Structure formats: structure tokens, C-alpha cells
Structure 1
Amino acid sequence: MVTDTENIKQVVEDLEKQELESPGGVSSPQVYAQLLAIYLFQNDLCNAKYLWKRIPQNIKTSHAELGLIWKVGQRLWMRDFPGVYTSLAVDWSENVSQVMQALLESTRKRAVNLVSHAYSSISADDLAAFVGMPADRAASAVVEQGWNFDSVTRTMTPSQPVTQPTHITSNEDQLYKLTDFVSFLEN
């Protein structure tokens, strides 16, 4: 299973095609597990939810791993980061292990990004809960990204992400462009 963005779209298309072409509309549990895991990896929670509803109940009950993958999806839906990491701490089958490991890493990156935008400072323990690591490892990981660590108070100060300057156009410029566009459409 490949988790790079170039090939992941092709893998999703292939799995969706397998699901659609399966006899009786019921695919194998492995296809459902891979597709559900990839939807979660892509943070496509709506498609993951609809896939979960489509999976026949007898397949859900006979293959416990599907339920475990969906448990991760539920935690992602609720934005319960500590719960996500707890749910991901499972020995996954070879079928989905790479995707679930990539999901763990991308969730950590997303959590660090959210914290850097939302907090001016955060305790090492709170950061550890957000990223699902021990406090010391979490602190050293974000210090490598340029964060500041105060060892006395055990607080982290995120480095401010570089924002792209936005070009603001005046109302007259916008009105001029709109007028040009409308006249183009009329002619």
C-alpha cells in the first residue's frame, strides 16, 4: 500500500472500482478496510462515514479490524486527538498498517499546526496530549521546528508560521474587473 499523494488517488479509484464491480455490491473486508483507512488518511471523514454505513453488518461484526479503523474515524470526527492516538495504538494487519502509520504521522503534523495557530504558549504536557507522545519527545520534536521551550515553566512557545502576504485590491479595482467581465459576457 502506497501512501504518497501521487499514488493515493489512483489507489482510491481502484478500490472504489473494486467495490462497485464486486458481485452483489458487497466487496471483501480487505477492500473496505483499505478504503476506510485511506479516507481517514486523506481526512475525508464524510466519505469514510458513508463507506462505514455502506458496509454490510455481517462484515462489520466478523472483521473486528474494520470496527477498530472506524473507531479512529469517530475520534477524528470529534477532534479527540488523545483518543485518536489511543485508537491508533493497535497492531494493524499488513493490509492497512502503512496507511494507519501514515495517518498517525499526518494527525501529529496537523495537531502541531493547529496548536501553532491557536496557542501563544502551551504546556509540555498539553502538547504531549495533542501529539500523542511523551512530553519530552513532543518538546524535542517541536523545538526542532523552531519552537521555544522554557525548561523552568515547561511551556512551549510556537514559532509563528510564515504567512503569505495577501494582495488587497481596492473596491474600485474590483468593480472595474467585474464590469469588464460582465461586458465580456454580454458581448
Structure 2
Amino acid sequence: MDLSAIHAALSAKSYSTLGPLCDDLLLQVASRGAATDDWPYAVHLLAHLYLNDLNSARFLWKTVPQEVKDARPELAAIWKIGQCLWNRDYAGVYTTAHEFEWSPEIADFVAGFLESYRKRIFELLTSAYSTIIVADVSHFMGMSEEDATNYAVQNGWSLDAATKMLTVRKQKAQTNQKLDASKLQRLTECVFHLEH
């Protein structure tokens, strides 16, 4: 079984490509009837979590042979992270990830996942709140209150130290799209054709 493409993606930190890559390679391996005992299930499962594709992660988990689940504690630890994601246990994602000692092969990937997850949570907080207390940001971001405050302030939020309240700075919507005349013409022709 040739896993060089997976190892290359891990080395290049191309984590967003790993989910589809692993899916395709596993299908190829399975279609040839080859044994999948050596399949990098931990990488594959984490790849789906990285993409926030919880349904694919759950499906993969259900297809992993029980003896593989029992024999690979790293795979089980990744599944615990997946369960935290599924249950929206924001702090649990970070706690679970930090409780396990990851192998050198996957440690950078886990760190990349946590960084991506933290950015995604921060974007959700930005879109959902206009003000939020520091303790809540700390909880959602899996950081100490001081680190969460520093992270938020570095990303343009402001702190009221007296109330320990952060004011969210909303991202400005991009509205300066230019309309290409040829695209407008094609659209007009298409609508005209559909109406007549």
C-alpha cells in the first residue's frame, strides 16, 4: 500500500487536502481487496475533523474494525476530539487534544487542527456577538483568560478592563465587486432564452 501521497501532504502541512486524498486512497485499496490493517486511520479521521466534516468522520469511525480501534490509542483519542466537536464541547476539544501525547507523525497535524479550530471559533464569536465577557471567550477558545484577551485584542477587539468585557470588531463586508460587462451580457442572454 503506497501512502507516500499522505506522507507528502503531512510533510507539506497541506492538511485541507488530506480528507479527500485519504478517502480516494482507501477506496482504491479496498477495491483491490488489500488489507487495511496498516491504514493511517488516525490521520484519516483527523483529516475529516480538520475540514469540520463530522458526518464523514462518524462514518469512517463506524467502518474502522473494532480490533484496530482497540489497538490504536491515538485513533481513540482523535475520536474523543470528534465526540467533543459533535457535542459542541468547545473546551473539551482543547482539553482532549492536550491530554494525549501524540506521535511525531501526527503531532503537527493536531496542532494545525487546533489552530484552525480556534480561528473558526473566533470567527463564529465575531459573527455572533457584539460584546462578550472574557471568561466566555476563554472557554470557547480553550485559552487562559489572559491569552484569550490578548488573542482578541490582537485581532482588533477592545477590552473594558473594569468589566472584563470585550467589544467585538466586526469584519467589514467586501462590497467592491466590479461587474464584468460580458458576464452581464451572458446572463441577460440566458434569462432571455429561458423566458422565450
**Distance change >3 Å, CA 97–CA 35, structure 1 → 2:** same
Could you tell me the TM-score, scaled by structure 1's length? 0.82
Deviation, 1:48, is: 1.0
Q: Which residue of 1 aligns with 2:29?
A: 21
Deviations 1:91-123 (A, max 9, x none): 111232111111111111111111111111111
Aligned counterpart for 1:88 among listed residues 92, 97, 111:
97
Q: Which residue of 2 aligns with 1:173?
A: none
Whether 1:117 and 2:127 are equivalent positions in the alignment is yes
Whether 1:78 and 2:66 are equivalent positions in the alignment is no
**Number of residue-to-residue matches in the alignment:** 179
**Distance change >3 Å, CA 162–CA 152, structure 1 → 2:** same
Gap regions ≥5 residues in structure 1: 168-176
Could you tell me the TM-score, scaled by structure 2's length? 0.78
Deviation, 1:2, is: 3.8
Percent identity for Structure 1 against Structure 2: 34
Q: Which residue of 1 aligns with 2:150?
A: 140
Q: Which residue of 1 aligns with 2:71?
A: 62
Contact 1:16 1:35 in 2 (8 A): no
Contact 1:128 1:138 in 2 (8 A): yes
Contact 2:18 2:47 in 1 (8 A): no
Gap regions ≥5 residues in structure 2: 1-9, 178-185
Whether 1:45 and 2:54 are equivalent positions in the alignment is yes
Whether 1:32 and 2:46 are equivalent positions in the alignment is no
Higher relative contact order (CA 8 A, sep 6+): 1
Q: Which amino acid aligns with 1:48?
A: A
Q: Which amino acid aligns with 2:21?
A: E
Aligned counterpart for 1:106 among listed residues 106, 112, 116:
116
**Distance change >3 Å, CA 155–CA 11, structure 1 → 2:** closer
